[in-house]
């Protein structure tokens, strides 16, 4: 839990129910002032439901939402000190860009001159000054999304909410705007809550990522920690391209202490940092594609596999290989190693870097 003084958004035991379906069922989350928090999860896990609850756009069944120390659970969206950007831009087609950006201020009764001043200042900041007189139909997708961001910014809100703002854009524009959003956060320093199902956006933008599944937060941690120390099999499999390799095996206790055994390989658990001592039973070893090196035939502790596919990606190459018991493994080779690529159909020997490995209880899926 965060210090009350530095907490920007605080969510307690939040429940949102549609009919008989509990989309969120007792969710708790604290977001620090100035933090960039990313809600990451697959379609239908409840990301938008959570964001809309913070914005006041849906009805909360139970629980409490605090923004900047105020209980806003029942407050109108306009009274919550938030600015929101939607995937669909939600611009008014008949209004110019300037009118779209200023509309929220106008309905709050702000003086014309001040609206113009704020709109011009924000347009300059977002480099869309030259678009102010156009209508949304005469803009590209990227320009429309910049206008939608501008409309949120003019409100000088404490908290900005983004719901998949880049999903409708092509790959290059996504990458460009992603960098702009990061710069925006660096220069404004506001709290930002950003919904996406794109793991690259999550990894590059977030101070912390909340990985969601079925309305529950599976892990809440900085990107590097989510990547290197996933809390469970779901998180481990969700982040990373290709995804983490899972090797099914068994942890049993032996004379030298517990060890992990799988087809063709066995090692003492003390080779994995902070390894569990108490657990025995079915376990899954998780290794990222970059956590292997190719080694000479017969190296102790190596896995033998047949190369089934080679994906050259320029800066790196992904080798897919299958072990004798049918486990498919992916291996990432940097461009330096890429000069000695194994050939398709040959046998390779892979040495796992066990210090970087993760171990999971296969039954519960939890990290050991």
**Number of residues near ligand ATP (by CB under 6 A):** 11
Q: Which of Mg ion, ligand ATP, none is residue 41 near (CB under 5 to 8 Å by kind)?
A: ligand ATP
Applying CB under 6 A, does 218 fall inside the site for ligand ATP?
A: no
List the x/- string, 184-203, binding to ligand ATP by CB under 6 A: -------------x------
Find the shortest distance in angstroms from Cβ 264 to ligand ATP: 40
Applying CB under 6 A, does 46 fall inside the site for ligand ATP?
A: yes
Query: Which of 9, 11, 23, 305 lies at the binding interface for ligand ATP (CB under 6 A)?
Result: 23
Q: Which two tokens stand for residue 47?
A: 């990301």
d(Cα 368, Cα 359) in Å, to the nearest integer? 6
The answer to whether the beta carbons of residues 191 and 34 sit under 8 Å apart is: yes
d(Cα 150, Cα 148) in Å, to the nearest integer? 5
Find the shortest distance in angstroms from Cβ 65 to ligand ATP: 16
Q: Which of Mg ion, ligand ATP, none is residue 232 near (CB under 5 to 8 Å by kind)?
A: none
Alpha helices (H) in the chain, listed in sequence order: 47-55, 97-107, 112-125, 141-153, 171-188, 199-205, 223-228, 233-238
Q: Is the CB of 207 or the CB of 214 nearer to ligand ATP?
A: 214
Applying CB under 6 A, does 20 fall inside the site for ligand ATP?
A: no
Nearest 5°: phi and psi at 301?
75, 10
Q: Is the CB of 46 or the CB of 286 nearer to ligand ATP?
A: 46
In the chain, beta strands by DSSP E: 7-18, 21-32, 36-40, 62-67, 70-71, 82-86, 159-163, 191-196, 208-213, 216-221, 245-254, 257-262, 265-268, 281-287, 292-295, 303-312, 316-323, 328-334, 347-352, 358-361
The answer to whether the beta carbons of residues 63 and 227 sit under 8 Å apart is: no
Query: Which of 8, 10, 48, 100 lies at the binding interface for Mg ion (CB under 5 A)?
Result: 48
> 219 to 278, contacts with ligand ATP by CB under 6 A?
none
Applying CB under 5 A, which part among 46-54, 209-217, 275-283, 299-307 lies near Mg ion? Answer: 46-54
Q: Is the CB of 45 or the CB of 60 nearer to ligand ATP?
A: 45
Cis preceding linkage at 308, omega within 30? no
Q: Which of Mg ion, ligand ATP, none is residue 196 near (CB under 5 to 8 Å by kind)?
A: none
**Interacting residues with ligand ATP (CB under 6 A):** 18, 23, 41, 43-49, 197
**Interacting residues with Mg ion (CB under 5 A):** 48
């Amino acid at each position: 839990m965060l210090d009350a003084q530095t907490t920007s958004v605080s969510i307690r035991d939040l429940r949102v129910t549609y009919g008989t379906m509990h989309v969120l069922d007792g969710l708790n989350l604290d977001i620090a002032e100035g933090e960039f928090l990313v809600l990451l999860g697959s379609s239908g896990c409840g990301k938008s439901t959570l964001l809309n609850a913070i914005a006041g756009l849906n009805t909360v069944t139970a629980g409490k939402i605090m923004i900047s120390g105020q209980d806003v659970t029942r407050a109108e969206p306009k009274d919550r000190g938030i600015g929101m950007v939607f995937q669909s831009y939600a611009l008014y087609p008949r209004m110019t860009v300037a009118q779209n950006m200023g509309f929220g201020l106008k309905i709050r009764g702000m003086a014309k001159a001040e609206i113009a001043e704020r709109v011009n200042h924000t347009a300059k900041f977002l480099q869309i000054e030259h678009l102010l007189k156009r209508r949304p139909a005469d803009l590209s997708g990227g320009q429309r999304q910049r206008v939608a961001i501008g409309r949120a910014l003019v409100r000088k809100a404490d908290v900005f909410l983004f719901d998949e703002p880049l999903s409708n854009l092509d790959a290059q524009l996504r990458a460009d705007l992603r960098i702009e959003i990061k710069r925006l956060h660096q220069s404004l320093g506001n709290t930002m809550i950003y919904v996406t199902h794109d793991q690259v956006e999550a990894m590059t933008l977030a101070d912390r990522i909340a990985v969601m599944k079925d309305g529950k937060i599976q892990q809440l941690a900085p990107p590097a920690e989510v990547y290197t120390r996933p809390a469970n099999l779901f998180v481990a499999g969700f982040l990373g391209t290709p995804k983490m390799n899972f090797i099914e095996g068994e942890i049993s206790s032996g004379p030298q202490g517990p060890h992990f055994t799988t087809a063709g390989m066995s090692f003492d658990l003390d080779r994995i940092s902070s390894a569990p001592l108490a657990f025995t039973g079915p376990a899954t070893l998780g290794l990222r594609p970059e956590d292997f090196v190719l080694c000479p035939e017969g190296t102790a502790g190596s896995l033998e596999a047949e190369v089934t596919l080679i994906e050259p990606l320029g800066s790196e190459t992904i080798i897919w290989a299958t072990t004798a018991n049918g486990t498919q493994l992916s291996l990432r080779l940097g461009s330096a190693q890429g000069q000695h690529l194994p050939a398709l159909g040959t046998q390779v020997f892979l040495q796992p870097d066990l210090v970087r490995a993760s171990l999971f209880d296969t039954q519960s899926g939890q990290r050991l």
